[in-house]
Structure 1
Amino acid sequence: MKMLQLCYFKALAENEHLTNTAKALYISPPALSAVVARLEEEIGVPLFDRVGRNIKLNENGKIFYKCVDSVLSTLENTCLELKKNNSEDKNSVNVAVSALTLWTDSMASFFYIHPEINISHAALKLDKLQDANYNNQFDFIITDLRDLPRNEWEHIVIIPDDRPVLVVNPEHPFAQKKHISLIEAKDEPFVALTKGYSSRRYFDEMFELAGFKPKIVSESDYPLRSQMIEKGYGITISTITGIQAAILKGFSFIEIDSPANVRTQTIFWKKGRKLSNAALIFRDYMIDYHKEHNILYPNNI
């Protein structure tokens, strides 16, 4: 059994399309078919059901795929670990987050305390969060607990009860309120993030739970959303962690009592991956920082 056979099988199992898979692998369909046929002969059972031009993973194939996927993932993780251990810069940590604005203060504090450790970080939308191969490059991903499959990731909760708030211009009639039910804002214009952000999915969930569709007047990125609120074009939803960001300073925040939908901010790392000393220092610092800076609400709530 050759490694190349396993790689080709995995690609075909995930695509279930001979021609497209062969094209992606830069080989001919007959060559790919021959490789898989030799693998099936070696194992002694068929792995795919073939009906005309269609090819579909059968029960044998599904069992074998789980094993192959695990083996290849372990090998890839080991190669990444060896590469990192033997690189010139061992004091580096690669971090991805679903919203950069949420972690600015804690990241900056870490840089100040540990200048010897280099942090590279990126913001991921939901499509990338769901791309297992893409995510292998990161030591950690920080996002909501529901954004990653927990059977593939180890995790520790950083902020267990990140509660929702309404964000409004200080001149808005709601600005003097301390608490609100979201249904009270059903006639208000809302400024939303564009679809694809984890925070946008949370935004949509809030209205689904509240039982109405919001009047969305703009869909944008984080900076433009803030500008729209500042100019009084609309209001939005964030969380306790979100409103600590500099980009939302100067606005008024109202606690949303209903629906009581919280986010669980979590740090993830791939199962089976050995973390470097630098990575362990970063993980423990982020956890401790947010325990010590667990500010329930700013003064104006």
Structure 2
Amino acid sequence: MDLLSLRYFRAVARREHISRAAEELRVAQPSVSRTIARLEAELGVPLFDRQGRAIRLNRYGAAFLTRVERALNELDDARREVADAAGLDDGSVAFAAETLLPFTELLAGFRAAHPDVAVRCFQSTPDAMLDQLRSREVDFCIASQPLSGAGLGAVRLLHEEVLLVVPTGHPLTGRDRVTVADIAEEPFISTRPGHWQRSLLDRLFASIGRRPVISCEGDEPGATYFLVAAGLGVGLMPSLARADLSQAPLTWLHLDTPDCVRTLNLVRREDGYLSAAAARFRDMAVAHFAERAQRSYKQE
């Protein structure tokens, strides 16, 4: 039993598909099949149930995968720790977020400060983020709603009010504050279920026993203000975005409810090794959002 066999097994177990695992590993499918067969022969039990070309991880395979994941993760962490200690490279950092648009300034600053660090970014739903943390595909997830799971820890980056945005000239223009009941019939620009904007919107309307009228929904929260400015509806936007959109044809209103807020957290697996590159990214992210919040407060 060697490390290559274990890595092949992990890929097949995660995908439950030989061809997809081979593509991920960038090796020929027969090589993966032979490796899995040798591993099963060595262990003396089948790790997958096979029906035609379909395979499913069985109870032996599930138990074995738990140990293999732990062993390979420890070895990957050890490699990163040794490389950090020896100064062999400047490392890498990977993170996922529901939208990448709010992080361009942070990424530009990080790139300028650490040009040799490889950075990978993913736009992911909260469910996908949990999978990416579990598989250690990413070092961090930046989430606007709680990510719960064993061994996860979070650092708060930002806690801010969420505002209602309407196009200039809308009947609500000129008002500073509205209730949820006031906007019960308004068409909303929002994200699909699962994203923080939609979760907040649904929760606000549930408080008055209603469902929001959705005129447009998608997967990119950053598109909200473009569509609102175009007159297609109203939407929810974090107050931090107000400073960046000061010239946009929008009116910003407070919602008369105490829980119209979002908390942005930097989430990671606490049982994994935090590389020097990842630690630098975390520290810069905390400082960046603290500075942005202070700037926003002064502009208000």
Q: Could you state the TM-score of these two structures normalised by the residue count of structure 2?
A: 0.71
Match in the other structure for 2:157: 158
Give me the whole-angstrom Cα distance separating, in 1, the residues matched to 2:189 and 2:12. 43
| Identity of matched residues, % | 24
> Which AA in structure 2 matches 1:67?
R
Deviation, 1:295, is: 5.8
Contact persistence 2:156–2:266 (CA under 8 A)? yes
Deviation, 1:157, is: 1.5
Q: Does 1:9 align with 2:9?
A: yes
Q: Does 1:192 align with 2:194?
A: no
Match in the other structure for 2:114: 117
Match in the other structure for 2:250: 251
The superposition leaves residues 60-106 of structure 1 with CA deviations (integer Å, 9 ceiling, x where unpaired) of 2212111112222333344455566412xx39766554334434566
Contact persistence 1:181–1:259 (CA under 8 A)? no
**Quick one: which of 26, 29, 43 aligns to 2:28?**
26
Match in the other structure for 1:179: 177
Match in the other structure for 1:61: 61
Give me the whole-angstrom Cα distance separating, in 1, the residues matched to 2:77 and 2:43. 26
Contact persistence 1:94–1:137 (CA under 8 A)? yes
Give me the whole-angstrom Cα distance separating, in 2, the residues matched to 1:22 and 1:94. 23
Q: Against the structure 1 CA distance between its residues 262 and 51, is the aligned structure 2 distance closer, same or farther, given a 3 Å change threshold?
A: same
SS where residue 102 of structure 1 aligns?
helix
Contact persistence 1:192–1:236 (CA under 8 A)? yes
> Aligned runs of 1:105-144 on 2, under 5 Å?
116-118=113-115, 120=119, 122=121, 124-126=123-125, 129=129, 132=132, 139-144=139-144
> Which AA in structure 1 matches 2:47?
L
Q: How many residues align?
A: 287
Deviation, 1:26, is: 1.7
Q: Against the structure 1 CA distance between its residues 121 and 53, is the aligned structure 2 distance closer, same or farther, given a 3 Å change threshold?
A: closer
The superposition leaves residues 31-79 of structure 1 with CA deviations (integer Å, 9 ceiling, x where unpaired) of 71x5334323433444333456553322222121111122223333444
Q: Does 1:206 align with 2:200?
A: yes
The superposition leaves residues 13-44 of structure 1 with CA deviations (integer Å, 9 ceiling, x where unpaired) of 22334566567652239x71x53343234334
Q: Against the structure 1 CA distance between its residues 245 and 143, is the aligned structure 2 distance closer, same or farther, given a 3 Å change threshold?
A: farther
Gaps of 5+ in 2: none
> Which AA in structure 2 matches 1:177?
R
Q: Against the structure 1 CA distance between its residues 50 and 215, is the aligned structure 2 distance closer, same or farther, given a 3 Å change threshold?
A: closer
> Which AA in structure 2 matches 1:167?
V
Deviation, 1:8, is: 2.6
SS where residue 178 of structure 2 aligns?
strand
> Aligned runs of 1:227-246 on 2, under 5 Å?
227-246=226-245
Deviation, 1:265, is: 0.6
> Which AA in structure 1 matches 2:286?
I
> Which AA in structure 2 matches 1:256?
L
Contact persistence 1:49–1:55 (CA under 8 A)? yes
Give me the whole-angstrom Cα distance separating, in 2, the residues matched to 1:20 and 1:76. 22
Contact persistence 2:190–2:224 (CA under 8 A)? yes
Give me the whole-angstrom Cα distance separating, in 1, the residues matched to 2:252 and 2:222. 18
> Which AA in structure 1 matches 2:49?
D
Q: RMSD value over aligned CA atoms?
A: 4.2
Give me the whole-angstrom Cα distance separating, in 2, the residues matched to 1:132 and 1:65. 16
SS where residue 167 of structure 1 aligns?
strand
Deviation, 1:125, is: 3.2
The superposition leaves residues 201-247 of structure 1 with CA deviations (integer Å, 9 ceiling, x where unpaired) of 22322343213142314758567543333343322111233434347
Match in the other structure for 2:88: 86
Give me the whole-angstrom Cα distance separating, in 2, the residues matched to 1:288 and 1:14. 36
Contact persistence 1:191–1:234 (CA under 8 A)? yes
Contact persistence 1:240–1:296 (CA under 8 A)? no
Give me the whole-angstrom Cα distance separating, in 1, the residues matched to 2:50 and 2:93. 45
Deviation, 1:166, is: 0.8
Q: Could you state the TM-score of these two structures normalised by the residue count of structure 1?
A: 0.71
Contact persistence 1:95–1:141 (CA under 8 A)? yes
Match in the other structure for 1:286: 285
Match in the other structure for 1:226: 225
